[in-house]
Amino acid sequence: MEAKKINIRFGVLVAIIGLVAISRLIPHMPNFSPVGAIGLFGAAHFTKKWQAFLIPIAAIWISDLFIINVIYQQYYPSFTWFYQGFYWQYGSYALITLTGLFIFRKVDTQKVLAGALISTTIFFIITNFGCFLSNPIYPKKFGGLMICYLAGVPFLSGTLLGNLFYSAVLFGSFALLQQRYPILKFIHSK
């Protein structure tokens, strides 16, 4: 019975993450994305830590494959597995998930809100630093780094709003499902 419960819970978690990852295909404001929230949600709810990293990042990567090779195919001359500089984004997703492992010993509204704010900050700092290093328009000195961060500020609101919205959707919908279907609740074994 316990294995069946874990399999059902795991399947529901994967399905929720998959559905939210697909929402990236809906037209939206720049950087309004579920990726930070997906990492936090995985960290909070998967029982095995490797699943907290692998499942969310795999869902994001699969949606990236579609976005790059179907929606933006005119910008890529051949099938593209990874876009240029992907490691900065994916590194930030992994760090967001790692942070979520520390935040979510127990899930509550304040921790979800804190996680959304922290994930926004992590994504902003890491991805703009990567842009600074790889883009020749920014002088490779402290002033150039600050210019790069300033250039990223207009996208910060989209990232924050996306993290807040999708965190509410992910954590809220799963909490409602757990109330309706107690089999989805995780019971710590003794």
Residue 169 lies in a domain: yes
Tell me the C-alpha distance between 148 and 137, whole Å.
Answer: 9
The domain that contains 81 carries what CATH number? 1.10.1760
Q: Kindly write down the DSSP assignment for every residue of 33-58, as one continuous string.
A: -SHHHHHHHHHHH-SSHHHHHHHHHH
CA distances in angstroms from 119 to 73, 140, 162, 174, 186, listed in the order given: 29, 26, 11, 20, 24
Given the structure tokens 């692998």, which residue do they identify?
54
Calculate the average pLDDT of the chain.
93
The pLDDT tens digits for 101-152 are: 999 989 999 999 999 999 999 999 999 999 999 999 999 999 999 999 999 9
Flag whether pLDDT at 82 surpasses 50. Answer: yes
Count H helices and E strands in the chain, helices first: 6, 0
Per-residue pLDDT, 144: 97
Flag whether pLDDT at 3 surpasses 90. Answer: no
Per-residue pLDDT band at 7 (split at 50, 70, 90):
confident
Residue 39 lies in a domain: yes
Read off the pLDDT of each residue in 75-84 and give the average, rounded to a whole number: 92
Residues 6+ apart with CB under 8 A from 165: 32, 37
Tell me the C-alpha distance between 103 and 95, whole Å.
Answer: 12
Residue 159 lies in a domain: yes
Residue 95 lies in a domain: yes
Residue 189 lies in a domain: no
First to last CA, the chain: 16
What is the span of the domain harbouring residue 17? 2-184
Residue 166 lies in a domain: yes
Q: Judge if pTM exceeds 0.85.
A: yes
Residue 190 lies in a domain: no
Residue 155 lies in a domain: yes
The total number of structural domains that make up the chain: 1
Flag whether pLDDT at 57 surpasses 90. Answer: yes
Per-residue pLDDT, 2: 61
Flag whether pLDDT at 12 surpasses 90. Answer: yes
Count of other CB atoms within 10 angstroms of residue 155:
17
